[in-house]
Every structure is written in structure tokens, then in C-alpha cells.
Structure 1
Amino acid sequence: MNSPTLVITTVNPFGDIEHQAECFNSWKSAGYNVVSYNSQSEAERLLEYGFTEGDVKIIDDSETTFKQNNKYLPKIHPIIQSLMGTDNNVIITNSDIYALHCIPMGGILSSLAPSLAMTRRELLSLNMLDMRDNIFYRGGLDLFYFSSGELKKLNSALKQCEAKDDMAFGVPGWDYLVGAILLSKLQGKIVDGAVIGHQYHKNTYSGLSDFTPYGRDIKRLLNLASADPYWVAEAFSKIIAESSTVNAKERCSLQRFFHYNGVNREQRKKYAYEKELQDIDGIINNVESVKLYSIFEKVESEKDWGVANQFINACFIKTSLFKAKIFALWNYIECVHGGEIKPTTEYPEGNLHAVMIENCLSVPEIKRAIAVFDVFSSELINHNIFNRRLFDYLVLSSNDKTNLKILKKLKSCINGV
């Protein structure tokens, strides 16, 4: 009988240790051998927090990024090299990824491809998990599966990569590089991770200045036109989206093994705001109101309207995405801010507004109004900036009477501009 697939991660003792432990134990519960790679000092902290010696693999400080940034982030390549003498199939994943299945899936994953890279099922919160909410984050790759043979090929390919010594958990770029190797040198596929979940949090990466060596490697591997870091990052994110769409059959195969796996699902509660949800033309009948309220609460706690833009569609039935988004923004202001906000029209120096609008122009025209709304709404809620031209564009793009009514109501909430 084959040994269970080995799951490799790194638990950050200075992060949300309770949530990471919950995710770590979900892999155990599903029947895997799971190990957190950590430096000696971090391992000692994890033992204090209830992890066992068998849960932690202690690595030398030289196998972390300590010399580069004074952080003990485990480097990826030394971990892979250390596995060359074993015949284990391996999963490499982030410590905040929850196993949404209840059996070890090594054999099932191997039946789909010898190596796999997965996006994640994005969750508003773990305890509000609903298997019907199929929202996948395709901006990165959060889990890799390798058969033992594919892992050896990965190790050989990494030896030719300029960025091999920069790859580390918690450092942006390594997932794109491994994904590029998986597509170009291995027999791999990129799929939506229907059986892994991630609780939403704001992206903490500040930029792509350290992505430069990854850009050169990925350009070489995939024969891209440019090695510019931002261009490569954008190009590879499109590859992730396209591959996930092409491999929809594999996602459906994974979905059959979805399981809540011990998630403590709480009864959804109604939140107390100054006003109840407002309605126009019966849209309220197509809204799961408690879920919408929970999104409002998450926006408040994260101070990020991006939460709403990502999860709103899951709250509505028989409603276009554009209509759902403008309806939600109007009701957010009504419920949370008492129906009135007083934004400015001035942008701070060095803002990224022009870049965001340029990105909107690259979107197909049929989706452009939604892209513009995402910029408009995020600027309004996150930065308290009202852009009249963007609002006018939304109005002129609407040939639906109900949409125009909602936009009129929304405008009435904007004071002082």
C-alpha cells in the first residue's frame, strides 16, 4: 500500500496562528501526512502553540530568507532537493489553505495529471462556507501536486532558473515560476481548486520589484514577448484564467470530492445597521440579504470594497452582475453610512488612477462598464474619492431603466461634490 501523499507547508508563528492551525489540521483530518518547514526559533514557538514535534521539520537558517530580509521564510528549492531521495507524491501549499475534502486525494489527482497547480476557492469566511459559492481566485496558484517522477523533473528545471534562490513561501513570484515550469517542462495542468478553500484577506504584497528574475525565467520558459515584471505577471495571470477555463472538466471531477471536512458552519445572522435594505423594481426578491449584510460587515472590517466586488454575485439570482454591483453599493451607503457620504474629488499625488483606467480600456467592451465600476466603487469607498467622469460613464453605459434608477439613488447619497 502506498504511503499517503506528503503535504508541505510553512506555518507562520507570527501570523494568525489559530486559523493556520485550523487549516493545518484539516489536512491531517483528510488523512495526509502534513509537515510545516520552519527554522529552529520558529519551530520552538509552534511547539508552544500546540504543534507537535512530528508536525514540524526544522531547517537550517541558510535555507530561509533570513540573510535577505531578516525573516525566516523557507526557501522552496532546498525543500524540493531534500525530497529527491524519497518516492513520495507531494502537495506544496500555503498555510492558510483549508482542505475541503475528507480523504487523501493523491490517487485522484494523479488520474487528472502527473502534476497539477490549483487556484483556490475564495471564501468570505470559513464558517460561512457554502459549496454553491464557486468563486475562484485566479490571480495566483495556492497548491501544487507532483508525482515523485514529476518532482524530480521540477528539481532539474529549477537548477536552470535564475530565480531559484529567491523562491520562498510568502514571497510573490515563486508560484508563477513553478506554474510556468509545470506547463512547459512537465505534464502538468492548471485547474480551479474546488477542494481547497481560502478565507479572504487583503493582498499584502506592495509591488513587483523582486519579480524581475522571475520575469526573465518565465519569459524563457513560455517564450513570452517581454520580461518586464508587470507585463509577465499580467500575462501569466491570463494564462491561469485561460487554463482554468479549458480544464473545467478536471474542476468538475474535483468537485465530486468536496466535503466540509469539519468546518464549523455558523448560523448566518442578520446585522444591525441604520437602515434596512432598500429596493427598486423588486430586486430585493432576488437577494440573499443575510449574505449581503455579511459582505457589508467584511468591507467594514477590511476597509476594502474589493471584498464586495469579488463576492457580490453570489448574493443574487436572476440579476446581471452590473445591476447587482450598483444595487449593492447603493445599499451599502444606505445601510452602513445612513444614506450619505461626503467624498472629495481630489486625488493624492502619485495615485494609480490613470493605470487603473488604462487597464479598463484593455477589457473587452462588453465587460468594460463592470471594470469601470470596480475602479469607481473602490475609489469611492476605500479612498473617499468621487470621480464624476466615471459616474457619467456608468450612466451613459446603462440602457436599462432599473439601472438608471439605482444610479440616480446612488448619486443622491453623494453630498458635497
Structure 2
Amino acid sequence: MKKVERRKKKEKRHEERRMKKVERRETREKRKKDTVVLGLCDQKKEEEEEEEETTQLCDMLAGKKEERSSKRSLLIEKERKLKQGQAVSKFCAKYLHQICGEYKDFGILRHGFLASSSEEADSIQNASLKQNGKSEASCSKTLAPHKSTAVGFDDRMLLHSEVERKSLPHPERPDRLRAIAASLATAGIFPGRCQPISAREITREELQMIHSHENIESVELTSQHVASYFTPDTYANKDSALAARLAAGLCADLASAIYSGRAKNGFALVRPPGHHAGVRQAMGFCLHNNAAIAGSAAQAAGAKKVLIVDWDVHHGNGTQEIFEQNKTVLYISLHRHEGGKFYPGTGAAHEVNITLIFFSLSFFTSRRVKWSFHSYIYVIRWDPWVEKGIV
């Protein structure tokens, strides 16, 4: 009996020790699992902290990069404005120092014709750039893809001048273009907000569409003489023929560019003028008829009808003669007549070709003109005549 009890007690002790071992093992495994889970949590927390630090670092770097980019953009814009200002100053200085004293006191040079304030001009330019998605206006010699205002000018047209020195300077002299060029530059219009269009010499074939062989040859002949005169007031020198070809070629290209849609509109800053030049004769300071050549170029580009508005103190007798028998060109002249006593004495109210739809309007004419202009390409000739202190 005693042996049996001792054996049972012994087995019980073994069972207790075994259970304790099992419990200790389970405890160790549980602690191990907890340690692993805790380690994973710590690792995940560390990874999140590292990711947050990386994000903050990236944001900081991106902010610095954006700040550097902004500073770089400001520097580029500042440099661009500086260069543009230098170009305008150079452009102004190029002509202002050559202008006669009577022009230097005009407001047109101090402020520019219809010039905006600098802040307004900048806002207009920025709005235009934003609309076109451009950061900088193009200054290439070819027109921009988007429609814009084109301006044509060439220094060589200033070479046309009267060689003989007289007591009073000739009213049609290089100062006229210098004054306008300086005004446009002062206002920041050109160079600046307008696209340049280069000048080329008109071809003989294009001239023959408007002028006779007699007119073309007489103008070309002046290049062989130091000084010559077509009329007492219509001079020429050895460079006049070149200037006349450049003026006509520029007007032709400008009209073609506008009709084809490469430019919205344009301004041809040219000389010698042309509206007195007829089919055969050069007169009234005019050698080739630039407006007529522009109209012809527009029709060659596809225009079916052309409207020429001539705003000048004098009647454009040459343009009237050229298109008087042309049913596709409507010519309107705004001028002084004074009963035929004002130069050139033509352009009276009765000079109206009703059959061919041709109008000549004087300032005193009250007659009403009814016509549909929807299908016309407009060629407006404006001559800033030097009279009573007005450029």
C-alpha cells in the first residue's frame, strides 16, 4: 500500500514538473511572440517616421527649388526688360539726336503718340502674353504664329533726302520717319508689343501692275545722279530709287500678310510717300504709289475687293487716276479742296464715278455714301503732315 502511495506521489510530482515546464515554455513562446509583434510595430513606426522625414525633406527641397526657379524667372524677366529698355533707348537715341529742333519740343516725343503709363503698358503686355501662352514676345523677323499687329520699317528709307540745302527744310524729309519711330519706341509699341516685318525691294513686274514703263525708268534713272528733280518740289538723290522700292515692297508684303491671316493688321512706316504718283508721273514728293501697290498685292493674294481710305491734307490724285477704271477698288480721299485752290487742285465733290463706284470726299462735302464694306480689305493711308506744329 505504501509503495502504491509513494508511486502516485512521485507521478504527481512528475506531472506537476511537466506542467510547469509546459507553462514556462508557453510563457517563453508568448513572450517571444509579443517581442516579435512589438519589434514589428517599432519597425513600422520607424519606417513611418523615416517616410515622414523623407517627405518633409522632399517638400523642403521642392520649396527651395521652386524658390530658386522663381528667383531665376524674376532675374530672366528683369534681364529681358533691361534689354528691351536698352533696345528702346538705343532705338530712340538713334533718331532723336538727328531730329530738328522744331520736333524736339513736341509731346509726341516726350510721351509717345497715345502712350500708356508704364504700369498700364506692363499690364497690357502681361495680359497679352498670358493669353497667348507665351512668356516672351517674339522679336524675330518673321511674323508670330498668332495674329498680331505688324510694323514695317527700314533705315535705308531715311537715305532719301534733298541734297540741295535751302533756307527752309523740305517738309518731306527723314525727320518725319524719325519722329514717328521715336514716338513708337517711347510708347513701347515698336520695338515692343508689335511684330516687325522686314522690307524688300519691289520687283519690276509688281510695279508694272500699277505704273507705266515711263514712271519706273524715270525713278530708276535718279540713282545715276547725285541730285535730281521731277518737279520743283519733288526731289531725288542717288538713294531715292532704292528707298522707293523698299517702301513699295514693304507695303505689298504687309498687305499680303494681313490678307493671308499672318497678321491681324499693320502699319507701314515708309517714305517716300506715294498717293500723288500716278500711272506715268512722279509728283508731290511721291515716286511710286505705295497704297496702290498694297491694294494690288492684296488682290494678288486673293482679295476680291479693296477699300483705300486716304486721310491726308492733300487729295491723292495719283491713286484716283490709277483706280478710276477699276470696279474692284473703292477709293475714299479725305482732304482739303478750297475750290480747287489747294494742292493739287483735284478731288472736287463732283469727281464721283457713280458707275464704277468711286468716291472722292472733301472736308466740306456733306454727301452721304452708302456702301457695304463687309467684304473689303482695308488699306488706310495716313500721312502725319507737318502743319501748325503737328507731326
Give the TM-score band, short-chain normalised: under 0.3
Q: Could you state the TM-score of these two structures normalised by the residue count of structure 2?
A: 0.27
